[in-house]
Structure 1
Amino acid sequence: MPKLAALFSPERAADVVDANTRQLLEDRFEVLWATSEHAAGPGSAAKPPALDPAAVPELAAGADVLLTSWGTPHLGKELWSDGNGPKVVAHAAGTVKNLIDPVILDQGVAVFSAGPRIAWSVGEYCLASMLTLARRLPRFDGAVRAGGWKQTEYRGHELAGAKVGIIGASSTARALITLLKPFGCDLAVYDPYLTAERAGELGVRTTTLEDAASGPFLSIHVPNVPETKGMITRALIENLPNGAVVVNSSRGPAIDQQALLEHALDGRIYAALDVYDPEPPQFDAKTLAASNLLLTPHIAGDTAEGHLALAGYVLKDALQWLDNGTRGPSFVDPASWSIAA
C-alpha cells in the first residue's frame, strides 16, 4: 500500500479534510498524520498552527504522496535529492509557488493544487460584490440604520445585459464567467494569453485592456507577477464611467489603490476590495466610513464548504494520476508555472 504523509496540523486537517476524504485516504494509503507535537507553535482560533519545518523530513521519509495545505513549510528540493522522493504533492490550498521549488517538476513529480476549487468560492464573492454594489445596498442599509428611508437621489442598477470587463482569464475569472452566464452580460476579457479559440469556448470576447476597463463593471483576476503590478493605472480608473463597480479579489499591487480610493471617496465609483497593498491596510476614518466601498479581509476564497472540499478535490486527481496518469483540473502544468498565480 502506498504511503501518504499529511504535512499540516490536526487543526488544519479538520479545516480541509472532510469525513469522506479521510476515509478514502485510509482506504488507499498508509497515512501518517502530523500531530500537535509537530507544530511550530500554538496557533490561534483564527489561524491553525503551522508545521515545524524540522518535522518535514521525518514525516515525509518514505512517503509516495505529500498532502499539504496552509501551514505546510516550504518543501526543499533536498527531499528529492536521493532520487527516491515523493511522487506526488497534493496541495489542499491555493498557489504552490511558495511551497515547492519548480526544479522538482522537471524530475517528474506531479503537483496538484486546489486553486480551481477555491476559484469557485472567489467567483461567488465577485458576483455577490457586483450585485451588492450595483444595487447600492450598503448605502441604503446605512440610511435605514440611521433612521432614514428612501434615498431619492440614488437608484440601483441591474447587472443583466451589462458590459463586464474581466482582467485575466484565470480560474477565478472562469468561475465568475460561468456564474454570469444567466445574466446575459457582454463579457469583455483582457488576457494576452487567451486564444480566440479558448475565448469562444468560454463564451467571451477578447479585447484590449482599455476597452475591458471602460464599462460599468470591472473585475480583476491576475496573478501577482511583475507584469501585472500596477496594470490598472490611474488613467484607466479615470476612464471608468461614473457609477462603475470595480472588484479586486486577485492581488492588491495589480491596481493603483490610491487612485481607486480617490475616485471612490469623491463618490464617482464603487469598489469591492478583498486584497490590498499592503495587507492589512491602514485606512483613515473617511475611507472606512465610505458606503460605496465594500472592504473584506482577503476572504474571497474562504468558505466553510469550500475549505472542507479542498483535500478531496486534489486527492481525486492525485489518485487518477497514480492509477492511470490522467491529469485532472488540479494538475499544476510545469509549462504554465511562470504565469500561474
Structure 2
Amino acid sequence: MPKLAVLMTPDRAADVCDPQTRQLLDDRFETTWAGAEHASGPLTLDSEAIPGLVNNADIVLTSWGTPHLRKGLWDDGHGPKVVAHAAGSVKKLIDPAILGEGVAVFSAGPRIAWSVGEYCLASMLTLARRLPRFDHAIRAGGWKQTAFRGHELAGAKVGIIGASSTARALITLLKPFGCDVVVYDPYLKPDRADDLQVRTATLEETLQSRFVSIHVPNVPETEGMISRKLIERLRDETVVINSSRGPAIDQQALLDHVLEGRLYAALDVYDPEPPKFDAATLEAPNLLLSPHIAGDTAEGHLALAGYVLADVLAYLENGTRGPSYVDPAVWSIAA
C-alpha cells in the first residue's frame, strides 16, 4: 500500500477533501496527516517539519499553505515519487529541479478551471444584459431605462486570450450559445484548435470581439500584453473579463474607458492585489468586481483532493498521465 503524507493543516484538509476522498485515503494509502497526534507530539507544517513528514513517503498531498518543497528533500534518494497538489499552480510550491529527479507532479488546476469558466460565463451574461446598471438604476428609485438595452450572448463573437485550462472550460460552457469563438494563443496548434471547435487569430483580431476573456499565465511574455493602445481600439460596449492575472492588461487604461462608459469589465484579478479604487470606480455600474474568487466554489474546493488523487492512482497503476499531470515540457509557460 503506497505511503502518503498529507502536507496541509486540518482546516485546509476539511476544505479540499470530501468524505469520499477521506475514505479513499484510508482504503488505498498508508496515510500520515500533518497535525495528527503522534507519540512525539503533533506534526506541524513549518518548513523544518517537512523532512520528517515526507521521509519514506511515496506520495505527498499538498494544497494552499504547504511550505515550499525544495530539491534538498530528495537528495538522499528517499523522497516521494509523486507530488499531488490539491490546488492550482505548483510553481511556488516546488523547486522545478525536482522534476529532474523522476518526480511526477499533479495539480488540481484543471478542476479549478471549471469554476473559473463558470465565473466567466456568469460575468458575460451579467454584463451583456446590463444587470448591474439596471440594479443601480432601481436602487436609485428608477424603473425601466430607455437609454440602454441589454444584449444576448447567443451567436456573439467571443475573443479568448490564451488557450489555458480555464479558457477550455469556458469554451465548453459557451457551446450551447453558438458563439463565434476566436482564440489568440501562439502555442495553440491547428489540430488542437480544431478539437476545440474554435478558430485562431492574431491578438488584434481577437480583441475585436463583443466579449473578450483573458486566460494567460503570469509570465514575462504576458505582462502588459493588452496595452492602452489596444484597449483604445476595442469596439464600443465590449465586455472585458480578466480572471487570469492582473499584470496581463493595462488596468488603469481599461478603467479609464469603463468610467467613460465606453466599455464594460469584470475584474477578478488586479495589479496590485488587493486593489485600491476611488469612489467613482467603485460606483461604476458597468464594472463588476470580485476579490480573486473566480475559482473558489464550495463544490470545487471539496473536489480538489479527490480529483488529483484519481489521476495519481491511474499513474501508479499503469502510467496514465491524466489531465492533472504537470508536463515538465511546458513548465515555462504554465500558470
Q: TM-score, normalised to structure 1's length?
A: 0.96
- What secondary structure is seen at the aligned counterpart in 1 of 2:241? strand
Q: Does 1:275 align with 2:269?
A: yes
Share of identical aligned residues, percent? 76
Q: Does 1:15 align with 2:9?
A: no
Matched with 1:26 is 26
List gaps (5 residues or longer) in structure 2: 37-41
Partners of 1:20 and 1:216 in 2: how far apart? Answer: 42
Contact map agreement 2:121 2:174 (CA 8 A) in 1: yes
Q: Does 1:289 align with 2:254?
A: no
Q: Does 1:111 align with 2:81?
A: no
Two-structure CA RMSD over aligned residues (Å): 0.9
Matched with 1:201 is 195
**What do residues 245-284 of structure 1 show as CA deviations (whole Å, max 9, x unaligned)?**
0000000000000100000001000000000000000100
Contact map agreement 2:55 2:78 (CA 8 A) in 1: no
List gaps (5 residues or longer) in structure 1: 40-50
Contact map agreement 1:9 1:38 (CA 8 A) in 2: no
Matched with 1:251 is 245
**What do residues 113-166 of structure 1 show as CA deviations (whole Å, max 9, x unaligned)?**
000000000000000000000100001011112211011101001111111000
Contact map agreement 2:5 2:60 (CA 8 A) in 1: yes
Corresponding letter in the other structure for 2:29: F
Contact map agreement 1:38 1:52 (CA 8 A) in 2: no
**What do residues 205-232 of structure 1 show as CA deviations (whole Å, max 9, x unaligned)?**
0000000001111000000000000001
One of 246, 255, 261 as aligned partner of 1:261:
255
Contact map agreement 1:66 1:88 (CA 8 A) in 2: yes
Partners of 1:238 and 1:157 in 2: how far apart? Answer: 22
One of 150, 166, 170 as aligned partner of 1:176:
170
One of 304, 313, 322 as aligned partner of 1:319:
313
Corresponding letter in the other structure for 1:8: M
- What secondary structure is seen at the aligned counterpart in 1 of 2:155? coil
- What secondary structure is seen at the aligned counterpart in 2 of 1:89? strand
Q: Does 1:86 align with 2:80?
A: yes
What is the deviation of 1:59? 1.1
What is the deviation of 1:239? 0.9
What is the deviation of 1:38? 4.5
What is the deviation of 1:63? 0.5
Partners of 2:207 and 2:285 in 1: how far apart? Answer: 22
- What secondary structure is seen at the aligned counterpart in 1 of 2:265? strand
Matched with 1:6 is 6
Matched with 2:130 is 136
* Segments ≥4 residues shifted beyond 6 Å: none
Partners of 2:112 and 2:203 in 1: how far apart? Answer: 26
Moved more, 30-39 or 122-131: 30-39
What is the deviation of 1:52? 1.6
